[in-house]
Structure 1
């Protein structure tokens, strides 16, 4: 699969397009059809075999993606936090969202009979594909535009329910990849003197490729083991690199335990790890902190109290990370758990979600906040029948993603069939 920066229009005979258009095939396909939304293109596959072959080709999907990048939208994935997830839920709903406008349900995915989805954590997006990581190590990937929904095969054995995954684009191979960490074994014991904790671990790491045409697609492949045990926190995913938080050292025991963390940068090109320090604001990754992508750079959201936060950005020269403080923020509502960050159309502004409930837009130049919506009480969803409802007092996590429309496949091409369903 070619990457977005490597695509070239193939040399071909300028055959006349079918259905009496009178236009050369390459003009019709790559100058006209490529401008249409995915929903129309899915239906146009039925016109003739030539159009279907063109629309379902990898080359056309990437040309269409190039045109779609400037037309991004925002999606919401609400998750009930107080349901019994031990037996899974029947599906996941995805809503389109524009600030201060009514969210409209666009892709109500219903699980196949017998397929159950455990409680999911923070979803990840890349070029129109959404990865949904769940407890018990189960991982789902969907394309809201084409309605393709795939459960990835299980990875290597993991002794903990709290594993995390990474998802992004590898420019060196032109492929989309998923990575996961796991523990073969892990134990903490007190040393003979009774003064310190000894941590023994056997950690692993593996990668899976999406949408390829070879045997490697949709199968896990082991990489080198991480130099330090990766902790169960959502990584930051940038083109070509995944950034994990890992436990560097642990001293003391009981209430006197002191942890220090580092950042592991995983290079998708050569599949190696390098070790980098946390930003100077904190030597360990607190439950209240978060790694994220901000304006194409690695970001770190540091929150030392319920009312204060800082945003740090890293310059990555390929060898080292140089951290700098971008802004300080005074939160108008108290933070209980953490802040989530979502890019906006403005490079100098990001959306900040406090506990996935209160949404603000943050000016990175001075840290000022503009309130967007109280997602729990003032944001109205629409169900299948058009009835409006709010989550109200229910414990709901409103996960927000910036997304683009795409025709990218999840499954290998020979098994791919696009289906447009309501």
Structure 2
């Protein structure tokens, strides 16, 4: 294998290139990315970057890293097609790049609700550094921000805006916050935390249209029930969708992402996929797609090992996630899917935690400001409930007893 091309220059794409070198690949590595500039971290865009505006702190590796590692990075280049017959990635500038193996790390893009008014000045979305810079510039003149969507990004932004003294209303169509990611008890706890911050949270509230003033600037959001929420900024944070168009056009099997097997190979063995765009076999026998830095980085490392070694076990890393919302660090280990028993923990000197079980085995753990418990949980996913009950559900004690 002489040449590997990576489409996508996010954190997963960079990890793919770095891991190939770490595993001993000596051939050519070409990274093709549509976004200009060096690969950078996205999670801080809604948090630290909003506070300090330091774009340089987001950069994952300096330009010298790519030179030392003999990695060719072409930014600001859009790949328009994949020719599987000739094994070429075709770019918008008509250049064609031959590959021996191709890794698709195209990530996801924001999903915009089908409501009128989204093009009005003052309506923002947050996915890229350019988006974040525009929002940060607008915040100085913002009095009341409306957040459409009560997921991680929307709530991280809401907490940041409240800390800056800006009035915030969160509009969530579901009956609870972060409903795809959290258990009902933890979701209810975060509802209280945000309301205690002074954020107005409207649940079961569906945005119907963006309202504008006489100058065409956003002036609020109207709900499906006719209520109107006034505001001079609107952040649309209603989830993402995977960027699978290249893969679909190339004839790869796609289903809520690019379908990959346990080795993260697509239906074409010469092509792999990772990160937000990859739908891989989950623990319940169904394919899952995880929108997290951890998944992208772990996928990249796994693919690199598979490409450089003949035998490798199927990908089975315990997923974990985090979200910083004000002074509260939410961490999740495992997957909540089909959990059938929830055991809340209430430490006397800290924030609550939640244990979720599936068929009598630990499936996931949610914690707030408890990194030690989170790290223990990542080692205990799959442990039977009887073992944990014997230790009064003290995860650290259970690890020590069975070390």
TM-score normalized with structure 1 length: 0.24
Identify, as 1 or 2, the structure richer in helix: 2
Identify, as 1 or 2, the structure richer in strand: 1
